[in-house]
């Protein structure tokens, strides 16, 4: 299947995992889709529900998508902006990147956010304690060459057409509040930050948060699907057993790159937790059956 790519990137983006997430969802099209940690929006974008509540604690991500929804950001405004700003970046290099970063930290303009997100180091979204965007330059002054701008413009237009034909509500709020809004007929997809992986002003996560997530979901009658991790070569997610182990857990190997080098390919066993039996065709494995020291063996046993 071809996966629609959203106009912004973020750490933990699920682009590569969309096919398996789609296979594991069990809802009919009229069900409201709720995403308390929507990030780049790639999952909602590909599910394309007609009715959705999409929330995140990061106000800049939420503002960016609201700006697409109200037309402030569209294909024309983005092309015009990225071409103009891209030319200055090509001429002035990293000094200009840092100038735009300061401007964004003062004015919070969605198009500056897009510019930074697409020219910063590794497409990261990271804010410091004062709520200031602090990702360094990605070292590509010619970042906004015409084909790249066209690619982003197409992503925006595609997103805009999906948002325009649906009832989507964007909110900046804590996940517990979003989940508390769910009714029994809604479907909740949760993709929280992975424990101990990223630390950022809007995006930190600890065991207490995971427990609150568990309690919040347990109080609702809605179906839910949770993305989390099972293990990598070094560690195993203990809370997968202790908190979520009595739900249905489907395991999926996933490879990601650290830095740009092809040989820095790391394996991670992703887990999808559901409070309903996963549809036929998604592979179910009992969590204790996979030992992280045996991860490479397990990866061979599991279909991609």
Ligand X SMILES: C[S@@+](CC[C@H](N)C(=O)[O-])C[C@H]1O[C@@H](n2cnc3c(N)ncnc32)[C@H](O)[C@@H]1O
Q: By CB under 6 A, what part of segment 23-42 binds ligand X?
A: 36-37, 39-40, 42
- Specify which residues 273 forms β-bridges with: 226, 249
Q: By CB under 6 A, what part of segment 203-242 binds ligand X?
A: 203
Residue 46 engages ligand X in binding (rule: CB under 6 A)? no
- Binding ligand X (rule: CB under 6 A), the pick from 43, 53, 152, 162 is 43
The Cα 115–Cα 124 span in angstroms is 12
100 near 108, Cβ under 8 Å?
A: no
Q: By CB under 6 A, what part of segment 52-91 binds ligand X?
A: 56-58, 61
How many chain residues touch ligand X (CB under 6 A)? 21
190 near 227, Cβ under 8 Å?
A: yes
- Binding ligand X (rule: CB under 6 A), the pick from 64, 96, 168, 175 is 175
- Using alpha carbons, select from 5, 53, 16 the residue that is nearest to residue 189: 53
Residue 193 engages ligand X in binding (rule: CB under 6 A)? yes
Strand order in the sheet with 265-274: 167-172, 51-56, 33-35, 187-190, 223-232, 265-274, 248-257
x/- binding map, residues 7-26, to ligand X, per CB under 6 A? ---x-xxx------------
Give the range of 6-14, 95-103, 145-153, 245-253 binding ligand X by CB under 6 A: 6-14
Binding site for ligand X (CB under 6 A): 10, 12-14, 36-37, 39-40, 42-43, 56-58, 61, 174-175, 191-193, 202-203
């Amino acid at each position: 299947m071809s996966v629609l790519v959203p106009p912004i990137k973020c750490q933990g983006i699920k682009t590569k995992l969309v096919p398996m997430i789609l296979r594991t969802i069990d809802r009919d099209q009229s069900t409201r889709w709720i995403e308390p940690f929507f990030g780049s929006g790639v999952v909602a974008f590909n599910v394309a529900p007609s009715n959705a509540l999409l929330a995140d604690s990061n106000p800049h991500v939420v503002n960016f998508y609201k700006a697409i929804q109200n037309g402030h950001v569209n294909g024309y405004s983005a092309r015009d902006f990225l071409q103009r700003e891209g030319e200055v970046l090509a001429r002035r290099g990293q000094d200009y990147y840092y100038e735009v970063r300061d401007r964004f930290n003062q004015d919070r303009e969605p198009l500056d956010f897009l510019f930074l997100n697409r020219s910063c180091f590794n497409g990261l979204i990271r804010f410091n304690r004062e709520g200031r965007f602090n990702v360094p330059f990605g070292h590509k002054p010619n970042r906004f060459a015409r084909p790249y701008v066209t690619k982003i413009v197409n992503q925006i237009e595609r997103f805009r057409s999906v948002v325009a034909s649906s009832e989507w509500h964007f909110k900046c709020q804590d996940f517990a509040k979003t989940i508390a809004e769910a009714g029994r007929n809604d479907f909740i997809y949760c993709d929280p930050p992975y424990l101990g992986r990223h630390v950022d002003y809007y995006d930190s996560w600890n065991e207490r948060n995971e427990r609150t997530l568990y309690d919040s979901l347990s109080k609702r009658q809605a179906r839910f699907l949770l993305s989390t991790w099972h293990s990598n070569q070094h560690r195993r997610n203990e809370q997968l057993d202790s908190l979520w182990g009595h739900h249905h857990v489907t395991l999926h190997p996933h490879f990601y790159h650290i830095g740009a080098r092809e040989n820095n390919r790391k394996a991670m066993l992703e887990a999808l937790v559901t409070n309903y039996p996963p549809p036929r065709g998604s592979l179910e494995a009992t969590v204790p059956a996979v030992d992280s020291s045996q991860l490479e063996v397990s990866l061979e046993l599991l279909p991609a």
